Amino acid sequence: MNLAFISHHECQNHQMGVHHPETPDRLHAINDRLIASGMEMLVTHYDAPIATFEQLTRVHDPDYVRMIEEAAPKADDEITWIDGDTAMCRGTLQAARRSAGAAILAVDLVMGDKHHAAFCCVRPPGHHAERARSMGFCFFNNVAVGAAHALAMHGLERVAIVDFDVHHGNGTEDIFKGNEQVLFCSSFQHPFYPGTGADCDAPNVVNIPLPERTAGKEFKAAVEDGWLPRIDAFAPQLIMISAGFDGHVEDDMAHFNLREPDYAWITRQLHDLAVKHARERIVSCLEGGYDLSALGRCVSTHVDELIGHA
């Protein structure tokens, strides 16, 4: 089976200003690279549905969801700032609903054995969105919405969420800390935005704070020591990924020195664990990555490893 590639043209309608780094060009760069690399022929495209209020409120406070809905601008030239770096335009609410809906569809596709793996090529990203707070370019926590859907609608008992974005997945931690059905693993530059993750003692959370200039060798050693044994022991029935590529050496939004082979390596490790424990079921959701060339190359590499080469 090939890979499910889930996106929607409305994800490109979300705009936060001309100079904002989280831009629609990110999706164009990914699609262009998939075509240039030949990966386009190895995926099946799906349109992301709209996440419902019920689906969103499995992980978000209902009043928070209503607040985001009510804050959505009605005029084409209107921008509403939700916090210092997260803004809404007229197209944002629909894009955010599609991004969360993509994770739901991805879970349904892999749990229905239509595909063994799925990649959600969507924006806005989600992993900074807490239960009742938007931040870090995020409104709804896409990967959390997908994981909650897997637990509620597919009867799963164990879902692992792995976040290798250079920024800590504080939103996902906020939503699932203490939930024994979810193992959350996050690696991130520390100290760095959003300044969280280094002191969490929840038993279902495995955080790996790493210093700036961390390169592949150090990253791999930390993952092998911290994540892989815990995921293996947890024996997840589904692995979900918050796939952020802003730790790439060419991405100036942070200060890691990772490269494409490092993202290939971690994806391969997670794919192998999915084969072992989860009938190869794995869902990945795009998070960060702001250098367009590096982002396109990293996603192409990531998708290639998700497909698998057994």
Instruction: Write out pLDDT tens, residues 130-145.
Output: 999 999 999 999 999 9
Q: Read off the pLDDT band of 308 (50, 70, 90).
A: confident
Comparing 10-14, 36-40, 102-106, which segment has the lowest mean pLDDT? 36-40
Q: Which two tokens stand for residue 270?
A: 């997670």
Which pLDDT score, from 0 to 100, does residue 1 have? 64
Closest CA to 241 of 285, 275, 196: 285
For strands 182-189 and 159-163, give the pairing.
Answer: parallel
- By the 8 A CB rule, do 298 and 255 touch? no
Instruction: Write out pLDDT tens, residues 280-303.
Output: 999 999 999 999 999 999 999 999
Where do the domains of the chain lie? 3-307
Whether the predicted pLDDT of 96 surpasses 80: yes
Amino acid at 123: R
Residue with tokens 């800390």: 177
- By the 8 A CB rule, do 238 and 107 touch? yes
Closest CA to 235 of 302, 281, 174, 175: 281
Whether the predicted pLDDT of 91 surpasses 60: yes
Q: Read off the pLDDT band of 310 (50, 70, 90).
A: low
- Distant-in-sequence, close-in-space partners of 41: CB < 8 Å, separation ≥ 6: none
Alpha-carbon distance 49 to 3, whole Å?
18
Q: Read off the pLDDT band of 11 (50, 70, 90).
A: very high
- Average pLDDT value for the chain: 97
- By the 8 A CB rule, do 20 and 284 touch? no
Which pLDDT score, from 0 to 100, does residue 18 have? 86
Cα-based distances in Å from 257 to 124, 149, 195, 242: 25, 35, 20, 19
Whether the predicted pLDDT of 121 surpasses 80: yes
Instruction: Reply yes or no on domain 3-307 having CATH 3.40.800.20.
Output: yes
Which pLDDT score, from 0 to 100, does residue 48 have? 98
Instruction: Write out pLDDT tens, residues 165-206.
Output: 999 999 999 999 999 999 999 999 999 999 999 999 999 999
Percent of the chain topping pLDDT 70: 99
Q: Which two tokens stand for residue 78?
A: 């209107």
